[in-house]
Amino acid sequence: MGIKRLLKHKKSAGAVAILLMATIAGAALNFGVQVLLARVLDVEAFGAFSSSLAMVTLVAPLAGFGVSGYWLKLYGHEGWAAQRWLPASFRFLLMSTSLVIVAVFVWAWLGPHDDLIAMLLVLLSTVILGQLAVELSSVKYQLEGKYGGVALWQFLPHFLRFAGVAALVLALGQERFEVTYAASVFAIVAIILLVLGARQMLKFTRADFVLEGHLGVFSDTRGRDVKSPTMIEVMSGSWPFGLAGIFYLIYFQSDIILVKYLVDDVAAGIYNVAFVVMAAVYLFPSVLYQKFLLPKLHRWAYHDSGRLARIYRVGNIVMLALGVLAMLMLWLLAPPVLPWLFGGDYRDAVALVMILAVAAPFRFLASSAGAMLVTRDYIRLKVKLMGGAALVNIVLNLLMIPEYGAVGAAVATVVTEVFTAAVYIFYIRKKFFESYATEKN
């Protein structure tokens, strides 16, 4: 038994290591492409690109609206029987994705934009397809327990974008490189990801994969008295996961958009530098909980509540300590490193990072607590809490950005992260542990 447990721990450590290496590499390449664009474009063009990408990213979770997260729950609960949900799921994916892309096109041409912003939004709308392909393919590999595949899909978009932008800059030179070229690279990469992802989904629908934690192989249910869910049932189960993603992006990424519309593209470009730094820092808890632990958490929630409770307690301590360490490192490194990387035009981003760093311990802690609220039927509670956080963030931004600019947006983000971590922990203690105590008795 001891040897088996040791091997199991080594396997888990190896999987986390692979995910972390891919995440670090992907974050470095994402950071690199932002640095490159900030260097070759003027601040206004960089701000236009950043705010357009943020806007598309904000609505991207509406495509599929939580289907990928719902699949993890379904397979954790039903095992192979969850294959019955796939036909209706794919119909819903097609419908919702089409509607979102059409909506982006309409906003591009009817919104308060100049021709450049409209073109950027149209080109970057393809990112929705690429992001959906990454999410769905990653879920397949998560369910298989093949974290090398998950790592590859986390790394690939950033590698292709960096390679494409760098190649164009080298071929054309800084003087001839335009912001629409960068958007075109992102669009081409999205189409490549869509094609690769379609191959993975074909295997998924054929049950050509191994379902970790569930014995046996898929047994075809055609001809048996097995209920096939409708698209309405898929929507009914997936919407909390989709809405959670929307609310998360509102309080994490909408600041860039609001800074653009309430201040200008230059301020949006400077704020985006600080945002990119924080996004790179937050990749670690995101990968650990959303990519590695989440399929297991769903399974333990139904079959091993004791282990789930232990993971939560240990996770809180570890995440809080790592968050404090991240904050201190940002305070130490941001002043000398940011101006050197991005150039003197982005020196004001240092102050924004120093403010946003205060949110790091709370974000890390919320990653641990929030993961518990995705299991069982707690996702609906989590959506309400995230909706409250999104509302707090928007109200604070509307009050503070007109008066304090990008600094106001940074302060609003910190307050929102504190609020989110606090309400997560409060309701975890109130709901999850009360339920756990009842089960033990």
Q: What is the pLDDT of residues 91-112, one digit of tens each?
A: 999 999 999 999 999 999 888 8
| Residue 91 placed within a domain | yes
Give the model's pLDDT for residue 293: 67
Is 217 a domain residue?
A: no
The token pair that represents 28 in the structure block: 């470095």
Q: Which of 88, 41, 32 is nearest to 64 (CA)?
A: 88
Residue-level pLDDT at 411: 94
The tokens describing 377, both together, are: 């039927």
Burial degree of 375 (CB within 10 A; 0-12, 13-18, 19+): buried
Q: What is the pLDDT of residue 226?
A: 58
Residues 13, 142 contacting (CB under 8 angstroms): no
- Predicted confidence at residue 17, as pLDDT, reads 74
Where does 304-405 have alpha helices with state H?
305-342, 349-356, 360-372, 379-404
Q: Is residue 218 domain-resident?
A: no
CB atoms within 10 A of CB 419: 19
CB 67 within 8 A of CB 234: yes
What does the pLDDT look like over 286-321, one tens digit per residue? 766 666 666 677 667 666 667 777 777 888 888 899
pLDDT of amino acid 291: 63
Of 244, 246, 243, 262, give the one whose Cα is nearest residue 409: 262
Q: Are 75 and 294 in contact (CB under 8 A)?
A: no
pTM of model > 0.85: no
Would you say residue 330 lies in a domain? Answer: yes
Domain extent at residue 44 = 2-212+228-440
In this structure, is residue 252 part of a structural domain? yes
Report pLDDT for 285: 80
Q: CB under 8 Å to 35, separation ≥6 — which residues?
A: 341, 342
Helix (H) or strand (E) holding 441: none
Asked whether residue 248 is assigned to any structural domain, the reply reads yes
CA distance 301 to 298: 5
The tally of domains found in the chain comes to: 1
Torsion angle (degrees, nearest 10) of CA 162, 168, 171, 172:
-140
Residue 158, both tokens: 């950033």
Please classify residue 223 by burial: count the beta carbons closer than 10 Å to its beta carbon, then call 0-12 exposed, 13-18 middle and 19+ buried.
Answer: exposed
Contact predicate 394/250, CB 8 Å: yes
Per-residue tokens: 170: 């080298």
Residues of the chain falling short of pLDDT 50? 1-7, 9, 220-224, 437, 441
With 0-12 / 13-18 / 19 or more C-beta atoms within 10 angstroms meaning exposed / middle / buried, residue 13 is exposed
Residue with tokens 């020196």: 347
Rounded CA-CA distance 159/30 in Å is 8
Q: Is 126 in contact with 118 (CB distance < 8 Å)? A: no
Mean pLDDT of the chain: 84
Report the 3 state secondary structure along 111-149. CCCCHHHHHHHHHHCCHHHHHHHHHHHHHHHHHHCCHHH
Q: What is the pLDDT of residue 6?
A: 39
What burial class does residue 340 get, using C-beta atoms within 10 Å of its C-beta: 0-12 exposed, 13-18 middle, 19+ buried?
A: exposed
Report if residue 223 sits inside a domain. no
Question: Contact 304/84 with Cβ under 8 angstroms?
Answer: no
Q: Return d(Cα 142, Cα 414) in angstroms, integer.
A: 32
429 domain residue, yes or no: yes
Report CA-CA distances (Å) from 134 to 5, 28, 142, 157. 32, 18, 12, 8
Residue 87 Cα distances to 65, 92, 116, 390, angstroms: 16, 9, 39, 33
Q: Are 134 and 4 in contact (CB under 8 A)?
A: no
